[in-house]
Amino acid sequence: MPVPCFHVMAKPIGPVCNLDCCYCFYLEKEHLYPDKRQAPASAWAMPEAVLEAYIRQLIAAQPAPVVTFTWQGGEPTLLGLDYFRRVLALQQRHARGKRIENCLQTHGMQLDDDWCAFLAGHRFLVGVSLDGPRHLHDRYRVDKGGRPTFDRVMDGVRLLKKHGVEFNTLTAVHAGNAEAPLEVYRFLREEGSGYMQFIPVVERHATIPGIDGPRLVGPGWPGPAEVTPWSVTGSQYGGFLCAVFDEWVRHDVGRV
């Protein structure tokens, strides 16, 4: 009988990120903490007592011999390498003979040789947010100054390859790239992504924000709202996946 397991994704820095992607619903969560909005990234870090309790409890609750931790954000690399060295130390303290694996989701812009050597040395699986080639990626993935990010992300990808870090890609399918599925897929394939995730961006923007400030709202929002201009339609997303599948099944089964 298979051992029943479950997956948890932690956001140890909450919504803090140095990008300002138009479609990011999570950046708005900063509105929920008005006393911290101008604070440095370190002020948003999961406190050590909470971090240790989380690590200890997740390991204890998993019946399998392998426990996987997934770290996301915001942008988790803003916490710095020392924070993740502490994560590894706590995992080993509470491992109870189990093998611990780690995954890190990042925009890639903070990666340098030190980061990539660390990730390689501890066998992290890294997910890189990448929406396609330059003109498609930069459509909505910009920094706090509205500047494009593609070149800086690709610098990070090159360093991951240099250090032999296993990585995959997460691509948001939105109005800016939905009509170019093969261009996106072939670009990711050529850059060495052997595992691709395509996430549809479908969001509604409240005409009047809620009392906490966020404007991107869920299906249960009672007030007036409009579908955002960057959202993908159902037919666009379906067409995107079908085109990618047809390319993959003809050429890439077994390697992507």
Per-residue pLDDT of the chain (256 residues; tens, 9 = 90+): 777 888 999 999 998 999 999 998 888 777 777 777 677 888 899 999 999 999 999 999 999 999 999 999 999 999 999 999 999 999 999 999 999 999 999 999 999 999 999 999 999 999 999 999 999 999 999 999 999 999 999 999 999 999 999 999 999 999 999 999 999 999 999 999 999 999 999 999 888 766 666 788 888 888 888 999 999 999 999 999 999 999 999 999 999 9
Please tell me the predicted confidence (pLDDT) of residue 120: 98
- d(C-alpha 22, C-alpha 201), whole Å: 11
Please tell me the predicted confidence (pLDDT) of residue 33: 76
**What are phi and psi for residue 204, nearest 5 degrees?**
-115, 140
Please tell me the predicted confidence (pLDDT) of residue 211: 63
Strands, sheet with 99-106, edge to edge from the N-terminal-most edge strand? 9-10, 66-71, 99-106, 125-129, 167-173, 196-200
Other C-beta atoms lying within 10 Å of the C-beta of residue 172: 23
Please tell me the predicted confidence (pLDDT) of residue 32: 75
HEC-encoded secondary structure of 204-222: EEECCCCCCCCCEECCCCC
Question: With b meaning 16 or more CB within 10 Å and e meaning fewer, what string describes 198-209?
Answer: bebbbbbbbeee
pTM of the entire predicted model: 0.92
Please tell me the predicted confidence (pLDDT) of residue 94: 98
Please tell me the predicted confidence (pLDDT) of residue 216: 82
Cα 71 from chain centroid (whole Å): 9
Please tell me the predicted confidence (pLDDT) of residue 223: 85
User: CB–CB of 95/56 below 8 Å?
Assistant: no
Which residues, 6 or more positions from 47, have their beta carbon under 8 angstroms from its beta carbon?
A: none
Enumerate the β-bridge partners of residue 197. Answer: 170
